[in-house]
Structures are given as structure tokens and as C-alpha cells.
Structure 1
Amino acid sequence: MSQVPHCYRHPGVETGVRCTRCERPICTDCMVDASVGFQCPECVRGGSGTGHSRTANQPRTVAGGRITGGDPHLVTHLLIGANLVVFVLAQVLPRFVAETTLIGLAYDPRLGREVGVADGEWYRLLSSMFLHQEVWHIAGNMLLLWFLGVALEEQLGRVRFLVLYLLSGLAGGALTLLLAAQNQSSLGASGAVYGLLGATVVLVRRLNQDLRPVLALVALNLVITFFWRDIAWQAHIGGLVAGVVISYAMVNGPRERRALVQWGACGAVLALSLLTVVLRVSALS
């Protein structure tokens, strides 16, 4: 039978709650409400002590990332900004969408040539993740990016959050390339955003919070995925699965080998995505 942990400040008090930053067990008298979960008094004060003790007690996210000063949602803001800039470019440059959308292989009359990843344009896997044409499309994706990204960036840290976003988008693009028709184009941040959706489920479960609102949001988005016309469901599912895998490794890995588990999972998702693209390109070439 596993032993119930005791509060690190009150050794005689059993508790099932841990600080979301340093992961030390804390009782109800020591809990400090945070945007997600609870924190211990030391992490709220930003650490204490000097020298080695300050380094040892430096506040970290639940995934082990360093908590830096400044804007805690910097990456979320930058990603939203990048999507908006690309959206404007798509509106004012006639050839921009044709040059950057995700497509396997097809003849594009607008450009007068064959285009696609199978034609050597691998950059489309990245560029299409930031590309939107319709106002409703970018509005929906950016709303979800803001809503989900704020809490995830706080809990994972900037670097891990950015890696989660990009790899989820790449996985969604790879699955789309594999399963969609070779001349079917795809664009949008939906794969990356669905990765954040899957990661939110994992994080909320890890923090022992109420899963029902998040599961309802997932269910709603899956209904939209499969019943709304002209949606690349492959990108949604690929991103969602990648987000779950990556985030599970990030917040549930053993502390002693946490970095190895985290980056190993990221490497595996990256390798599988690239292998999928290589196999599809080989079939189309």
C-alpha cells in the first residue's frame, strides 16, 4: 500500500495535494491559489535562501521548466501575433496562399507549375500551420490558443509549451499528408491548437481538477471536426494525439529522469511525423 505524503511544512498532516511548481506536498493551511492548481508559500514568494539553497528551491513549473520573469504568456502572445501577421499577408498577397498551404502534389494554375511537399517544398509543413484565409477560421483558432495557451504556458514553461505547439502542428500536418488526397490542400493552426486541447486534458487530470468542462470542450470540437464541411479532420486528430503523448511525458515523467522522458517523447513524435512524411513523399514521387 502506498504511503500518503505529508505536508513538507507540517510533517504530521497528510495531504494529496502538491505544489504545481516544485511538486512538494502541501496541506490546506499552506495552499496558495494559483491560476492552475495550488502553490506552496516559498514558490509564491519566488524562492528563498542564497547560494545552493536558492538554486535548489528555484520555482519551477509542474513540468520542471524554469519560471522566468516578465510576461508569463510571452510565447502565447508571439504565436497569436505570428498567425495574425500571416493572415494579413494572405489577404494582401495574391500568390501567398498558393505558395504556403499544405499539399501533397498537384498542378497549381495560379502558379503555373506543380507544387507540394512531394515536389521538395517541405517548408509547407510549417508555413501552413500559421496560414488562415477566413476571419472565422483564425478567430476560432486564436480564441482557443489564448484560452488554452495561458494556463499551459504557465504550467509547462516557455520552451516546453512552444515545442508542444509546433510538434502537435507538425503531427497534424503529417497525418493530413498521409491520409488526404494528394491534391487536397490544408491550412490553419488547428492541428497545433488541438494539441493544446489534448495537453489541457492531461494537465487538468494531473492536477486532480474537474475534468468535465475540458472533456465537454473536447467533445464539442470533435463534433465540429467530423460534421463541419471542409475541415481537415486528419490535422485535428493528429495534433490531439501528439498533444496527449507529449504532455503526458512532460507532466507525469519521474523526476529523476524527467528530462530524458520529456525530450524522448518529443523526439519520438518528431521522428514518427517525419517518417510519415517521407513515406508519403516516396509514394507520390
Structure 2
Amino acid sequence: MQSFHDVLEQRLPNVTLTKLLIVINVLVFAAMLLGGAWFWHSPNGIQLSWGANFGPATQDGEWWRLGSAMFLHFGAMHLALNCYALWDAGQLAERMYGHARFLGIYLISGLGGNLLSLVMQGNSAVSGGASGAIFGIYAAVLVFLWRERAAIHAREFRWLFGAGSAFAVLTVVLGFVIPGIDNAAHIGGFITGLLASIIFSQTITARIMPLKYSVGAVLTTILVSIFLFKNIPPPKYRWSDELLLRSQISAFLFQDQAINRSWLEIMHEGKQGKVSFDELAGKIDYSISEPYEESFEKLSKLPLDPDLPSAMQLENILRYAEKRKEASKALAERLREQAQP
């Protein structure tokens, strides 16, 4: 009896998409490294800038993060484990379902996993990785093996089905034990993969999937997706507001450096005694007090939602800018008083 693996290889000799997906994940990781990511583990800020899944960001009109997050990895080990799992199950699934159906299962499972992750984690975690999509692939492989079990040698079936089931169960168990593992994405991806394997059903010897089952799987997927979307926890803050604060704070810090350079130049001129007190006062007004006053007024108009991560830094900068403004104005006034006869 020909082995099931040989049957699949004859059915589809080249697993082009499995290889392509692995290459894409590796290339994205390499691009992230060039963009400042860390090799072993990248900070959440870098992941967010590349499209990781995060409640406030995703719900602030950036729903594309549900898709982009499945191509991001937080470090080399995370990438290596996912690529190994993708190669292990991907070549089987691609040969079982064909190129297009395999890709459909992969992408839909990744989206489903990231959606459940968003519901379960919401504002509390930044997530990314191909594991949700990979769990969907494992689910699809298990469904195919079960339906074709009569045509597979018993020992080979036990090995393939047992190994796939053990991987899924063990990984989920580890997810409850080891912190930082996105179990919601794993479980969501697996369940979505089960449904997608019915929708994109393929067969070798088993009977064709009845249409009512495929339609039922489509309707279930749609209804569950609607239910999950309606139960996503509301974001604690608007991501666009946070990005605005960060950009304006960064701009102020850059301007503050320029103001401090101007201050050193004014102090140097004062020590040389080449300018009058009135002129020094005017320079302080123009180069120190007015920029701080303008910055204070501009920063005061920014959103002051206390839930924004940068809210505390903004408050500190506002106090700093006001203090520097008042101190420079007082100094200019004293200089003018000294200039009077």
C-alpha cells in the first residue's frame, strides 16, 4: 500500500505557497531588523509601527492590522518556531487542498485568530505572529486526515493525526502556563481553520462534502465574526490621539534643544559685554520666552485624556514650558530694570 505522504506528493509535487509564506515572514523580519527591531525580542512600539494587532490602534480605523499582524514576529525564536510549524503542516495542507484553497484557509484562519485575540486581549496586549494562521492549517490537516482515514494505513494515520493533535493541544496548554503566548489567536485560528476546511473541502477517496455543510460553515463563520466584532472591548483611548501627542512631544523636544542653544548664545554675549541689557532682554523675549509661550499654547490644545500613554509626559512638558516661559520673562524684566538710568 502506497504511503499517504507519497499519494499527496504525487497529487501536488510543489508546495510553492508554503515556501513563499515562509520567505515572506523571513523577509518581513529582516526588514524590521533593518528598521531598528531587535533580534531576540522587539519592543511593542516597534511592532506597533509595523502593524501589530492592538485594540486602540486596530479599532481606530486601522482594521488592516488584523491581517498585517500575522506576518510580524517578536524575535528570531518566535519566527523560527512558526516557520518550522508552517513547513511541517503547510506542505501537507497545500497538497491536500491545492494552492488557492490552502492560501484561503491560511489567511482566513489568521484573521479569525487575530479577531479573537482582539476580543480577549483588547487594550492589554500587542500581538502578532503567524501562529493563528498556522493553527488553522493544522486544523485543516486534521479534518482532511479524519475524512480520509479509511484510505490511510492505520499506523500512518495514528502517527499523522496523533502528532498534529498533540502539537495543537500541547501548544495551547503551554499558552496557559507560559506568559506572553497569545492563546486566543491559537484557539481562534484553529476553530476558523476547522470551518474553513469545510468551506474549502477537498477529497481523495472520501465522499464530497455535502453542500449544506459548506453553506452551514460559511454562515457560522459570518455569524461568529459578527458576534466577535460586536464584543470587542471598547478602546481605552484613541490611537490617533496618542500618535498626535507623540509627534508633538517629539517636535517640542527638538525645539527645546534649539531654544537651549539660543540661551547659551545669549548668555555668552552677555558675558562678553558687547550688548546692552535692553538688547539682551529683547533677545530673551524673542528666542526664549515667545517660543516657550507658543509651544505651551499649542501643546495645551492637544487631547488631555488621562488614559493616553503619553498624557503624563505631556503634563510634565506643559509644566516645564510654562516654568521656562515665566522664568525667562522675569529675567528679561530684571534686565530692563537694570538698563533704566
Q: Same fold (TM over 0.5)?
A: yes
**What is the root-mean-square deviation in Å for CA atoms of aligned residues?**
2.9
1:153/1:232 CA distance change after superposition, 3 Å? same
Secondary structure of 2:77's partner?
Answer: helix
1:78/1:278 CA distance change after superposition, 3 Å? farther
Partner of 2:208: 255
1:270/1:256 CA distance change after superposition, 3 Å? closer
1:256/1:104 CA distance change after superposition, 3 Å? closer
How big is the shift at 1:219? 2.4
Unaligned runs of 5+ in 1: 1-30, 45-60, 62-66, 106-115
Q: Match for 2:108 among 167, 172, 180?
A: 167
How big is the shift at 1:242? 1.0
Q: Match for 1:133 among 74, 86, 90?
A: 74
1:82/1:270 CA distance change after superposition, 3 Å? farther
Partner of 1:4: none
| CA–CA distance in structure 1, aligned partners of residues 96 and 139 of structure 2 | 14
1:72/1:268 CA distance change after superposition, 3 Å? farther
Instruction: Return the TM-score normalized by structure 1.
Output: 0.66
| CA–CA distance in structure 2, aligned partners of residues 181 and 275 of structure 1 | 15
Partner of 2:54: 103
Q: Assess if the C-alpha contact under 8 Å between 2:198 and 2:209 holds in 1.
A: no
Q: Assess if the C-alpha contact under 8 Å between 1:186 and 1:232 holds in 2.
A: yes
| CA–CA distance in structure 1, aligned partners of residues 58 and 179 of structure 2 | 24
- Structure 2 residue 194 is matched with structure 1 residue 244: yes
| CA–CA distance in structure 2, aligned partners of residues 37 and 226 of structure 1 | 37
Counterpart residue type for residue 273 of structure 1: S
| Per-residue CA distance 1:72-117 (angstroms, 9 max, x = gap) | 2011111111111111122122475222110001xxxxxxxxxx11
State the aligned residue count: 216
Q: Which moved more, 1:136-145 or 1:239-248?
A: 239-248
- Structure 2 residue 205 is matched with structure 1 residue 273: no
How big is the shift at 1:213? 2.5
Q: Which moved more, 1:248-257 or 1:136-145?
A: 248-257
| CA–CA distance in structure 1, aligned partners of residues 29 and 164 of structure 2 | 28
Q: Match for 2:5 among 32, 35, 40?
A: 35
Partner of 1:48: none
1:215/1:34 CA distance change after superposition, 3 Å? closer
| CA–CA distance in structure 2, aligned partners of residues 202 and 92 of structure 1 | 40
Unaligned runs of 5+ in 2: 37-44, 150-156, 239-341
| CA–CA distance in structure 1, aligned partners of residues 226 and 85 of structure 2 | 26
Aligned pairs for 1:1-285 (under 5 A) are 32-35=2-5, 72-94=14-36, 97-99=47-49, 100-105=51-56, 116-208=57-149, 209-210=157-158, 211-249=161-199, 250-251=201-202, 255=208, 262=214, 265-266=217-218, 268-269=220-221, 272-273=224-225, 276-277=228-229, 279-280=231-232
Q: Assess if the C-alpha contact under 8 Å between 2:202 and 2:208 holds in 1.
A: no
1:36/1:166 CA distance change after superposition, 3 Å? farther
| CA–CA distance in structure 2, aligned partners of residues 274 and 92 of structure 1 | 38
Partner of 1:10: none
| CA–CA distance in structure 2, aligned partners of residues 234 and 256 of structure 1 | 29
Counterpart residue type for residue 208 of structure 2: R
Q: Assess if the C-alpha contact under 8 Å between 2:15 and 2:95 holds in 1.
A: yes
Instruction: Return the TM-score normalized by structure 2.
Output: 0.56
How big is the shift at 1:123? 1.1
Larger Rg: 2
How big is the shift at 1:254? 6.1
| CA–CA distance in structure 1, aligned partners of residues 132 and 148 of structure 2 | 25
Partner of 1:15: none
| Per-residue CA distance 1:228-260 (angstroms, 9 max, x = gap) | 2101111011011111222144147963855x8
- Whose helix fraction is larger, Structure 1's or Structure 2's? 2
| CA–CA distance in structure 1, aligned partners of residues 6 and 196 of structure 2 | 19
| CA–CA distance in structure 2, aligned partners of residues 168 and 212 of structure 1 | 21
